[in-house]
Chain A
């Protein structure tokens, strides 16, 4: 069992569909993150959750809706997406406050999203 597991690994959806991405961490961490990775662009931090509470929303459009039911699970609900939302969505986890000191985020393998 890998530390951070993301499902599905690949997703193709139409602009009117509703789908969800799931992330689960088995590391006992209490902070979880969603990043967007587009080709030739820096990773973009989308959302941060500390102890299930959202502590950062980086001006993400409302068509992306995160949910963190507990410290081990993180979801990204998707609806009425645009083709430019096609990207690799990476989930990461860490201990609260750890990025401030060690910067060690543990990443999942990502969910490759294609919006038609």
Chain B
């Protein structure tokens, strides 16, 4: 079975600084990987996804993530954050042999300060 670990529960950062949110997964089969974002008092929305092909994936709002199979990681990065990026970020994994069920990590709270 798959599992997802988000290594940081909270990440405080100043506006315009770079940020990396870490995600590691475990699975014995090929996986699909996702990042979702949840703004305050809202549901989750898809930020980006890795299905196959290029290991560097670009998403909305200037975010990108890199799939590293050898390190079983899918870290999310942004070179310069804005106040509006303050939100909770969830990493998720899906494996084909599990009927496509999404397994979510615990979430990382990104707090961008002026």
CA of A98 to CA of B51 in the docked complex: distance in angstroms?
12
Given A41-B106, A42-B107, residue A100 in contact with residue B42 (CB < 8 A): no
Across-interface contacts of A40 in B (CB, < 8 A): 9, 106-107
Cβ of A103 and Cβ of B43 under 8 Å apart?
no
Number of interface residues of B (CB under 8 A): 25
We find that the number of chain A residues with CB closer than 8 angstroms to chain B is: 23
Are A110 and B101 in contact (CB-based, < 8 A)? no
Q: Contact between B101 and A42 (Cβ–Cβ < 8 Å)?
A: no
Minimum CB–CB distance for B106 against chain A, Å = 5
Q: Are A110 and B51 in contact (CB under 8 A)?
A: no
Is B94 in contact with A103, judged by CB distance below 8 angstroms? yes
Contacts between chains A and B (CB distance < 8 A), count: 61
Contact partners of B30 in chain A: CB under 8 A: none
B2 to chain A, nearest CB (A): 12
Closest chain A residue, CB of each to CB of B34: A103
Q: Answer whether residue A90 sits at the interface, using C-beta atoms and an 8 A cutoff.
A: yes
Q: What's the nearest-Cβ distance from chain B to residue A91, in Å?
A: 8
> What residues on B are CB-neighbors of A107 within 8 Å?
43-45
The answer to whether B43 touches A104, judged by C-beta atoms less than 8 angstroms apart, is no
A105 close to chain B: CB less than 8 A? yes
Which A residues are within 8 Å of any B CB, using their own CB?
Answer: 4, 40-43, 45, 56, 90, 92, 97-110
